[in-house]
Structure 1
Amino acid sequence: MYDRILVAVDGSEPANAALDHALDVASDCDAEVRALYVADTNRDSVTTVGTDVRDALEQEGEDVIEGARERAAARDVPFTGEVVQGEPGDAILEAADERAADLVAIGTSGKGAIRRFLLGSVAEHVIRRADVPVLSVRADEDVRVEYPYDSILVPTDGSEHASRAMERAVELARRHDATLHVLSVVDVMAVGVDSRADLMIDQLEERAREAVEDAGAEAGEAGVDVVTDTIVGSIHREIRSYAEENDVDLLTMGTHGRRGVDRFLLGSVTERVLRTAPAPVLTVRGEDEED
């Protein structure tokens, strides 16, 4: 499934959680892991020690890479690592492209570049533009990080982008003999309150049911154990609650390409899902669009 996995590292607990999970995946897939430490050029890190001029971030990066190398060696996973200078988002994308990575893994909080990735423009930058799936891992006591996966959740709205995520989720479910949960959430707050609200909600619920039924039928034809559900409520809250109640090991979600805003992943819902998801999140981008 994967041959080359790129992991953004910074030595923090969240980055290490992403690294460890990526190593689990790599060991299962006989894949190589490449660790990337980005010395952010937006920060002044050059210091002088005696007559030597040193870049503190680059030195820190070498130490972080060595630690990652030891973790990979303990699992007998092929490993390479590098320290690069640049803007974090672009550096991650460039490395993924140049090294022909087929998966990018990253922690959802941490220091330096990783923190900016999750909470700022770098997150959208990488998710929108990465040509390969992005695996986000949040390090917290309430996060379930298990491998292999026994339970996979795919939120869907019937869009092409959700279908791309569905394809990957079916592939993963077949590999792990996992139960696939297909969920559609009807956001009644987006409808408003007027004389047509009830009719609109009925229409949205019918579309949601059709979306999960179609996706469930597709997965069933692939020989996957499927559970489908349609829920009315706040999208990100219902996704989280469902994942918690069903002990989900992985959430797989689709994103738009380079243009447009996906209601799941490029607005407030995305940040909330990534910040609060009780398990790793795999985002899969839809068809390319022009910038």
Structure 2
Amino acid sequence: MYKRVLLAYDGSIEGRSALREGALLAKHCEARVFLLSIVAETAGVRLAESVYAGVIAKEGEVYQGILDEGAERLKQLGLSAVAALEFGEPAPTIAGFARRVEADLVVVGHRHRGALERWWTGSTSAHLLDLVECSLLIAKDTSADQGLQAKTPVGRS
């Protein structure tokens, strides 16, 4: 079925759910696993970088820790993943990485947002539907991960 699975991971509760669901599916399919964390380079982050040099580098350090933690979680599930840290807008970065690794499934988490927030920031998951050339699994079941604290600020994907 699936041979190359890309897990987009940000350390949030929703991201942990996506990691768990994607990992179990990849294990069942005996698929090769790719783990991706993204340092979002949004307009706000670029503005902060212009005022406070080093903001993006600091975010890179934080997300490298998140990526390492995700790789360790996969290892505990008996999977070894090709892990990558990328910089950019989340949806296009995920889609571009999926194309490069020839993923046939992308797994992301879903964070419920109000109408105003969706209007203002858009939806990474919805945007991905238009950008990826493979199947997309949006994990919503966070029940097994509710006790875990998010490592990233709300609004990051």
- The answer for the alignment partner of 2:8 in structure 1 is 8
Distance 1:75 1:140 in 2: 18
- The answer for the alignment partner of 1:107 in structure 2 is 109
- Which structure ranks higher in relative contact order (CA pairs < 8 Å, sequence separation ≥ 6)? 2
Distance 1:37 1:136 in 2: 16
Distance 2:87 2:56 in 1: 14
Give the structure with higher Rg (CA).
1
- Is this contact kept in 2: 1:31–1:78, CA < 8 A? no
**Alpha-carbon distance change, 40 to 54 in structure 1, aligned in 2, over 3 angstroms:** closer
**Alpha-carbon distance change, 41 to 70 in structure 1, aligned in 2, over 3 angstroms:** same
- The answer for the alignment partner of 1:193 in structure 2 is none
- Is this contact kept in 2: 1:31–1:77, CA < 8 A? no
**Alpha-carbon distance change, 54 to 128 in structure 1, aligned in 2, over 3 angstroms:** closer
**Alpha-carbon distance change, 57 to 133 in structure 1, aligned in 2, over 3 angstroms:** same
Relative to total residues, which structure has the larger helix share, 1 or 2?
2
Gap regions ≥5 residues in structure 2: 145-157
**Alpha-carbon distance change, 141 to 77 in structure 1, aligned in 2, over 3 angstroms:** closer
Distance 1:136 1:75 in 2: 20
- Is this contact kept in 2: 1:65–1:81, CA < 8 A? yes
1:18 maps onto 2:31 in alignment: no
Match of 2:137 among 135, 139, 148: 135
Distance 2:13 2:75 in 1: 19
- Report the more deviating stretch, 100-109 or 126-135: 126-135
**Alpha-carbon distance change, 61 to 133 in structure 1, aligned in 2, over 3 angstroms:** same
Q: TM-score, normalised by structure 2?
A: 0.75
RMSD in angstroms over aligned alpha carbons? 2.5
The offset of 1:21, in angstroms, is 0.8
In the alignment, residue 2 of structure 2 is paired with which amino acid? Y
- The answer for the alignment partner of 1:237 in structure 2 is none
The size of the alignment, in residue pairs, is 133
- Is this contact kept in 1: 2:108–2:125, CA < 8 A? no
The offset of 1:128, in angstroms, is 2.1
Secondary structure, counterpart of 1:83 in structure 2: strand
Distance 1:13 1:53 in 2: 24
- Is this contact kept in 1: 2:4–2:34, CA < 8 A? yes
- The answer for the alignment partner of 1:126 in structure 2 is 128
Q: TM-score, normalised by structure 1?
A: 0.42
- Is this contact kept in 2: 1:93–1:129, CA < 8 A? yes
Secondary structure, counterpart of 2:19 in structure 1: helix
1:114-263 superposed matches below 5 A: 120-141=122-143
Distance 1:25 1:139 in 2: 14
What do the CA deviations read for 1:55-79 (whole angstroms, capped 9, x no partner)? 1221111101111111111122121
In the alignment, residue 80 of structure 1 is paired with which amino acid? V
In the alignment, residue 61 of structure 1 is paired with which amino acid? Y
- Is this contact kept in 1: 2:9–2:36, CA < 8 A? yes
Secondary structure, counterpart of 2:7 in structure 1: strand
The offset of 1:27, in angstroms, is 1.1
In the alignment, residue 26 of structure 1 is paired with which amino acid? A
Match of 1:78 among 61, 72, 80: 80
Distance 1:72 1:140 in 2: 17
